[in-house]
Structure 1
Amino acid sequence: MSIHSLKRDQTNLAWDNSIPPVIHIASGDTVTFDCLDASNGQLTADSTKDTVGTINLSLFDQVNGPVYVRGATPGDTLQVDVLSIETGDWGWTAVIPGFGLLADEYTEPALKIWKIDQSKGFTWFDEARGMKIPLRPFAGEMGVAPGKSGAFSTIPPYCTGGNIDTRHVTVGSTLYLPIEAEGALFSIGDGHAAQGDGEVCGTAIETPMKVTVRLTVRKDKPYTKTPHFSCTSAAAPEGIDYYCTTGVNSDIKEATRAAVRNMVEYLTNEYNLDKVEAYMLCSVAGDLRMHEVVDMPNYVVGMMMPKSVLGH
């Protein structure tokens, strides 16, 4: 196994299988990425709400990469083990006019600057009132290049990943991405110190980050058609270990249907259930969650299955 690294300026603003890879690695190698925050450095710890009105949104959500993984071919799955994340000592949350689930109701810019000390395990929302946010850092952007030709914005999520903004894919979690392009062409970015499911105002606690992942080509998961993930032990929400399938679609109902359909596919492949059994198991034990609802045009809905139900 080899260890590689990418610098802050080795970034792109599109998912595009024609972008030359920054590095070539072997399956199973580890890569460390040094990432700016989602504003691409336009916001700093000294910014004010007036700065929000001057930012260039076309520069947002840059991703570091791409990384070419040798042996990765279309139809394979890329396993992404999240090994470590180090946030910056500050972060920001903004209300950006025209962006967010309630954009029509919140039309004025707003900005909150956070002080982050990972050793404390939380950051203050309002210290005087005793309101604090547990730190749970993760990368909002993790994806591989699409098989289709052309440049695709990094703002929405896709079936190949991208801006999935799924808070459960933190240290100790494993993400599985369907490979559509030779070499997978993996990229990552959009550091978050914490986020609620949905990221409803459009931003989390955005922060620079250094993140280390191990990238492994899997030939035995051909049913992976959208991002799947496994979160265990401390990485799992509510202390429950989960395997999750997702649905990604511009129609929230269709995204939800796809999440369930993909879990049925997983259960029939991995646990030898028939489709009716798997469908019933989803109904009695699976948890549907809205992971991402603001990065138009697509939503990310997850079907999270407790591993304890599956005999883990």
Structure 2
Amino acid sequence: MTNPRTIHIHRDKWHLAWDHSIEPVASIESGETVSLDMTDSSCGQIGPDSTVDAIKNLDFGRVDQVNGPVYVAGAEPGDTLEVEFLDLQPANWGWSAIIPGFGLLADEFSEPALKIWRLEGGAEGWAEFAPGIRIPVEPFCGEIGLAPGAPGALSTIPPYRHGGNMDTKHITKGARLFLPVEAPGALFSMGDGHAAQGDGEVCGTAIEAPMQATVRLTVRKDLKINEPQFVTAGPLARRTNTAPYYVTDGIAPDLLEATRKAIRHMIEHLQKNYGLSRADAYMLCSVAVDLKLCEVVDLPNFLVGAFLPQSIFTA
């Protein structure tokens, strides 16, 4: 019995919309694997030697590109495509930024900022934020999706029922993602590599990094779903869930405002206790702090917690 083949998608095979009229760059049989060589989410506009000018001049018409699409034989509307993540390898660098007009607290952070990260040790390595603060690398891809069934182009910026920009940090190596098929052949695409991210990605960027990914794509005729579902590879955030968390709560009658308050309180905590600038604290929240819905039933107020892993502090 021969092993299923693997096809390779080069980094120049990308597109900027979810649209079933885009011609596939490759075709595979169900159960075969695809390797993708992906640029960072800026589509190469930011590099390891970039300065904040790259943020000032960022062309948003080129961000959040995805590699593909890949036609999967036998996939028909109403089926489910199972995506098994076999390998995710980030480059040795990445970036985080504050982009004016973007992020949870966009009205409070109007000045651009850029941090270039050096990633050590590959997929099991670390990235140093500042002396005494190390972020464990846990790579995943923010953009994973299929073409919509309805005609017309959809932006890659939001998530949809067929996938898209889900930015879910738990879809790591070993995870299995299930996506509802809306177009013949499914037309699978993926991109937006992240070396690490906090749940919520509050400033709008994670550790954005070029990524090499290998996935197995299998058509599931036995599974009917309406929106994405997934199985994690194991315990959540296994590399950061190794010590206590410090949590700041946000309480408000509006869920979004409760979330904003939780992050504001965490920024203040990081400034006061770790000597970070407000901008650096905001970016650290985006790559390390997990947002959790702690209380949603005792109205009129919601309670959102911002969870800071204490294991990232080495000094």
TM-score range relative to shorter protein? 0.7 to 0.9
Q: Which runs of 5+ in 1 are unaligned?
A: 241-250, 254-287, 291-312
Instruction: Decide whether the 8 Å contact of 1:178 with 1:226 is kept in 2.
Output: yes
State the alpha-carbon separation in 2 of the partners of residues 47 and 121 from structure 1: 23
Aligned to 1:159: 161
State the alpha-carbon separation in 2 of the partners of residues 230 and 200 from structure 1: 24
- 1:38 is matched with which residue: 37, 41, 54? 41
CA deviation profile, 1:215-243 (whole Å, cap 9, x unmatched): 00001111x11111101336x33599xxx
**Are 1:11 and 2:14 an aligned pair?**
yes
Aligned to 1:220: 222
Instruction: Decide whether the 8 Å contact of 2:84 with 2:174 is kept in 1.
Output: yes
Q: Which AA in structure 2 matches 1:175?
A: L
State the alpha-carbon separation in 2 of the partners of residues 116 and 90 from structure 1: 5
Q: Residue 102 of structure 1: SS of its match in structure 2?
A: coil
- 1:56 is matched with which residue: 59, 63, 70? 59
Structure 1 residue 86: deviation in Å?
1.1
- TM-score, normalization by structure 1: 0.75
Instruction: Decide whether the 8 Å contact of 2:84 with 2:215 is kept in 1.
Output: yes
- 1:121 is matched with which residue: 118, 125, 129? 125
- TM-score, normalization by structure 2: 0.74
Aligned to 1:229: 230
Q: Which AA in structure 2 matches 1:161?
A: G
Aligned length: 242
State the alpha-carbon separation in 2 of the partners of residues 89 and 148 from structure 1: 39
In our comparison, the structure showing a higher alpha carbon Rg is 2
1:38 to 1:252, Cα distance in 2 relative to 1, 3 A: farther
Q: Which AA in structure 2 matches 1:229?
A: F
Aligned to 2:195: 193
Q: Residue 173 of structure 2: SS of its match in structure 1?
A: coil
State the alpha-carbon separation in 1 of the partners of residues 8 and 292 from structure 2: 33
Aligned to 1:25: 28
Instruction: Decide whether the 8 Å contact of 1:6 with 1:31 is kept in 2.
Output: yes
- 1:141 is matched with which residue: 139, 143, 146? 143
CA deviation profile, 1:93-132 (whole Å, cap 9, x unmatched): 00000000110000000000000123462111112xx111
Identical pairs, percent = 56
Q: Which runs of 5+ in 2 are unaligned?
A: 242-253, 257-290, 294-315
1:238 to 1:9, Cα distance in 2 relative to 1, 3 A: closer
Instruction: Decide whether the 8 Å contact of 1:87 with 1:118 is kept in 2.
Output: no
Q: Please tell me the root mean square deviation across aligned C-alpha atoms, in Å.
A: 1.9
Structure 1 residue 289: deviation in Å?
5.2
Q: Which AA in structure 1 matches 2:107?
A: D
CA deviation profile, 1:11-65 (whole Å, cap 9, x unmatched): 0000000001011100000000000000000001111112210110110000000
Alignment of 1:1-312 (within 5 A): 1-119=4-122, 121-127=125-131, 130-222=132-224, 224-233=225-234, 236-238=236-238
